[in-house]
Amino acid sequence: MAKNIKGPAIFLAQFAGDAKPFNSWDSICKWAAGLGYKGVQIPSWDGRLFDIRKAAESKTYCDEIKGVARKHGIEITELSTHLQGQLVAVHPAYDEAFDNFAPAAVHGKPKERQKWAVEQVMHGARASRNLGLDAHVTFSGALAWPFLYPWPQRPAGMIEMAFAELAKRWTPILDEYDKHGVDVCYEIHPGEDLFDGATFEMFLGAVKNHKRCCINYDPSHFVLQHLDYLAFIDIYHERIKAFHVKDAEFNPDGRQGVYSGFQPWINRAGRFRSLGDGQVDFGAVFSKLAAHDYDSWAVLEWECCLKDSGQGAAEGAPFIESHIIKVTEKSFDDFTARAIDKKQVQRMLGI
């Protein structure tokens, strides 16, 4: 039986707010359904929409959350712990900046903040199972990222030690997700230690090829790195268990390249764009995923340096819908097929 991509769906992180319809679970589901979305990805840190601790502890609460979504014809695609996952591993250079991702009680207390983050991500395993979800999206965090460019020269063994420590922190979490039958899908993203295929492989090796160590595929981050995002699917398709549909463009000139000169988003050579306004070949992306039997959700993540979020969300559902391929269950040349005749085949081959 053919496997098909599910969607369209939308990640709610960039839309949740204090104004209606973005300030409650019921109203934001109604809003998403009204735009044509069939699924929503939940930012688990946003208490206006969701309580991850309660979801981990109460199947009844999860049934209620699903019931509200179902009332509007919406399914939950995955839970996201991007912000909490980021805090599983933070280099001291980013301590103050990333404190904003955690409660005030742990600000300025890196060890307590990390403990809180691990607990939150652990809640995600039980909450995902209570919601009937098989995949979870997150960030890996980073210890080695400040040393991305090898100047000054990195001390021998530094990167290996950083990935060993990252694996030490994540292995118990991966084991917890395995216990609940849920894949951990890391978004491969600059700013994380897992930012391309090579670093994902280093981490995968460090966690001993843990079967729950998977990928949230987002081609936009590869456009900005000049990485072949289609070949990436061919290489890692067995580990791709989630999909963020996000566009980007890279326009280098005589002043800027990949690093974009500390410029604001609007002036950067590499910029995120709304679907269809950037350079990602989504026809090829959806074809590659379909060819490799990807059958989970296509989830819009809206980030654009120009277009309003409301317009981006409204355009996103039909864009994704138009790119989802209903995989054929028969060959186009079946009408000329004939039964196998062994003697005829032998004659045709001259054997």
| Amino acid 331: pLDDT | 80
With respect to residue 195, please indicate whether it lies within any of the assigned structural domains: yes
pLDDT tens digits for 192-222?
999 999 999 999 999 999 999 999 999 999 9
Structural domain count of the chain = 1
Cβ pair 225, 269 in contact under 8 A: no
With respect to residue 272, please indicate whether it lies within any of the assigned structural domains: yes
Instruction: State how far the Cα of 249 lies from the Cα of 97, in Å rounded to an integer.
Output: 27
> In the 8-state DSSP scheme, what is residue 3?
-
Instruction: State how far the Cα of 347 lies from the Cα of 18, in Å rounded to an integer.
Output: 76
What is the extent of the structural domain holding 98? 6-349
For the entire predicted model, the pTM comes to 0.96
With respect to residue 60, please indicate whether it lies within any of the assigned structural domains: yes
**Full 3-state SS string of 197-261:** HHHHHHHHHHCCCCCCEEEEECCHHHHCCCCCHHHHHHHHCCCEEEEEECEEEECCCCCCCCCHH
Instruction: State how far the Cα of 348 lies from the Cα of 351, in Å rounded to an integer.
Output: 8
Residue 271, strand partner residues: 249
With respect to residue 262, please indicate whether it lies within any of the assigned structural domains: yes
Cβ pair 128, 120 in contact under 8 A: no
With respect to residue 326, please indicate whether it lies within any of the assigned structural domains: yes
With respect to residue 40, please indicate whether it lies within any of the assigned structural domains: yes
**Cis peptide before 103, with omega less than 30 degrees from 0?**
no
With respect to residue 1, please indicate whether it lies within any of the assigned structural domains: no
Taking only the tens of pLDDT, the chain with its 351 residues reads: 789 999 999 999 999 999 999 999 999 999 999 999 999 999 999 999 999 999 999 999 999 999 999 999 999 999 999 999 999 999 999 999 999 999 999 999 999 999 999 999 999 999 999 999 999 999 999 999 999 999 999 999 999 999 999 999 999 999 999 999 999 999 999 999 999 999 999 999 999 999 999 999 999 999 999 999 999 999 999 999 999 999 999 999 999 999 999 999 999 999 999 999 999 999 999 999 999 999 999 999 999 999 999 999 999 999 999 999 999 888 877 767 778 889 999 999 999
pLDDT tens digits for 148-202?
999 999 999 999 999 999 999 999 999 999 999 999 999 999 999 999 999 999 9
With respect to residue 46, please indicate whether it lies within any of the assigned structural domains: yes
Instruction: State how far the Cα of 283 lies from the Cα of 286, in Å rounded to an integer.
Output: 5
Q: Can you give the CATH number for the domain in which 258 is found?
A: 3.20.20.150
- Furthest CA-CA distance within the chain: 81
